[in-house]
Amino acid sequence: MRKLREIERRDAEERKRQERREAEEQKRLEALERKMHSKPYANDTAFLEELRTLLEETRDATLRQIATSEAEASEMLVDRERLEYDDEDGSSVASDIQRDQLKDFATALRLKVDEIEVALSRIDDGSYGRCDECYEPISQPRLRAQLPVFTCVSCRASV
Ligand SMILES: [Zn+2]
């Protein structure tokens, strides 16, 4: 009889511990949820506007770079058509490689423009400056130096 009460008491304690663990887990999840939706610089409008200007300038400069490399690539295409008639030194192959490089470069730049657009829309909703990996704020110097940036310095290596 005493043994049975002892077992019941232990069960009750175990249940209590389990409930405490679940409550802690719930709190942890709620904190994470808040962090995932945090807007670290939403109250610092001047800073976000500064970043908006920097991002827009970078986007416009990148668009100009894209236009330049595309113009170069099509100029090379015109040259290449002339080269084909007289291709003993393989210069048309060299020209193809260079043109491919220019196109790859333009593609990478276009990706950057897309990322800048994402950053700008996140400035609009106030979430820009939150690390995509750990949800902590990205430092102001890092945000100014890298346009755009979506991870903090500690998460950078793991991306
Ligand atoms: Zn991070």
114 inside domain? yes
Give the DSSP H/E element, type plus range, for residue 24: helix 2-36
CA 141, CA 135: separation in Å to the nearest integer?
17
32 inside domain? no
Residue 29 Cα to ligand 1 middle (Å): 18
68 inside domain? yes
9 inside domain? no
Whether the CB-CB separation of 129 and 137 falls below 8 Å is answered with yes
73 inside domain? yes
Whether the CB-CB separation of 69 and 106 falls below 8 Å is answered with yes
74 inside domain? yes
Please list, in sequence order, all residues whose beta carbon lies within 8 angstroms of the beta carbon of residue 36, skipping any fewer than 6 positions away. Answer: 135
Residue 81 Cα to ligand 1 middle (Å): 50
Residues 86-98: pLDDT tens digits?
Answer: 666 677 777 888 8
Please list, in sequence order, all residues whose beta carbon lies within 8 angstroms of the beta carbon of residue 135, skipping any fewer than 6 positions away. Answer: 32, 35, 36, 38
Whether the CB-CB separation of 123 and 48 falls below 8 Å is answered with yes
Reported pTM: 0.78
CA 36, CA 27: separation in Å to the nearest integer?
14
Residues 8-50: pLDDT tens digits?
Answer: 999 999 999 999 999 999 999 999 999 999 999 999 999 999 9
As residues whose CB is below 5 A from the ion ligand 1, the structure lists 131, 133-134, 152, 155
Residue 128 Cα to ligand 1 middle (Å): 13
118 inside domain? yes
Q: Is the dihedral of CA 121, 123, 127, 132 positive or negative?
A: positive
> Which CATH number fits the domain that encloses residue 146?
1.20.120.910
Domain span at residue 95 reads 37-156
140 inside domain? yes
Kindly state the percentage of the chain with pLDDT values over 70: 92
Q: Which amino acid is at 110?
A: R
Total domain count, the chain: 1
CA nearest neighbour of 69 among 111, 106, 112: 106
